[in-house]
Amino acid sequence: NKKTRFIVSALLHDIGKMGVPNSILNKNGKLNPTEITIMKSHTYYTRIILSQIEGIEDITNWASNHHEKLDGSGYPIGLKGKDLSLEERILAVCDIYEALSSKRPYKKALSKDEIFNIMNPMVTNGKICGQSLDILKEVI
């Protein structure tokens, strides 16, 4: 069913990070432009890995496109607006929340209020789906 397939895509969305060197994944500081490009390639690797499995094209697309933005400023393709499925919009919002709420070698974990103070303007600026963010706020 679609709900189960979506959950699988959420669990696998960063599987492509296996193709990114640990020196970049665990860097104790900001990434330089070359490292950022390499880090962004994880969406490509996610697509390559998942596309090897027949019959999960929807999961592959949802997982691979979790960094797309409604205004077309995301990656890997630069999809925008109606070209993004609801599942991709939800994953994008959840991925941003997870990134901001997690402690990383280069930053502290943010509080829920701090996170929503960052994400609310992303809705206003047309980057992320307001409906998806509202639902996240209800369940967090």
Instruction: Give the orientation angle of helix 57-64 with respect to helix 42-50, to 10 degrees.
Output: 170
Bridge partner list, 107 = 104
Active site residue 17: yes
Q: What amino acid is encoded at 76 in this protein?
A: P
Q: Distance between CA atoms of 135 and 29, rounded to whole angstroms? A: 32
- Which is catalytic among the residues 17, 27, 40, 137? 17
Residues 79/118, Cβ–Cβ less than 8 Å: no
Amino acid identity, position 63 = A
Phi, psi of 104 (to 5 degrees): -125, 165
Question: Catalytic amino acids?
Answer: 17
